[in-house]
Structure 1
Amino acid sequence: MKSRKRETSSGAILAMLSILPYPFIRFRAIEEGIVETLVNRLKHQKKCLIAAYAFSRILDYENIRKAMFELSAPDYIVGAFKQGSFNGTVENEHGKEVLGRLMRNDDLRAAVLEAHIIAALCTMFKKGEAALNHAAFDFLDIMSNYPDGKELIKESKRSIFHAIVTALDHQKWTSQKNAAIALHTLFGIRDSSERTFVTQEFQSVILEGIPRILKLLVHDRSYRVVGGAAALLALSDDGTVRARVREHADFKFARSGYFSKSIKLQYHDSDPREEDVHKMLDTLFAAMEESPQHRGALKFPEVHQMPARSALVTSLAILSCVFYIPCGLTAMLAGWAIDETATSRSPT
Structure 2
Amino acid sequence: LAYGDWWDFEAGHVYPTMSQFTISGRRVHGLNTSLHLLNENINLQFIYGELDREITNQYDSLLVEDVVVGADSVVDQNFLLTYQEGGRGSFQRKVTGGRIGFGNEEKFQIGIQALRIQDDTTSIFNVRDYLDLASSSAVYGSNLNSDDIDSLLANPDRLDVRGGNVKPKGNLVAGADFKMGLLNNRVRLESEAVISALNNNIYDGPLTVQRAEDLGFDVNQKTADLLEQLSWLIIVNENMNTLPFRISEDESGELSGNAFFPTGILATNSELSLRYPNNNFRLQYRWIGPGFNSLANSTIRKDVAGFT
After TM superposition, is the score higher than 0.5? Answer: no
Bigger relative contact order, structure 1 or 2, given CA contacts below 8 A and separation 6+?
2
- Which of structures 1 and 2 has the bigger CA Rg? 1
* The structure with more helix, counted as a fraction of residues: 1
- TM class by smaller structure: under 0.3
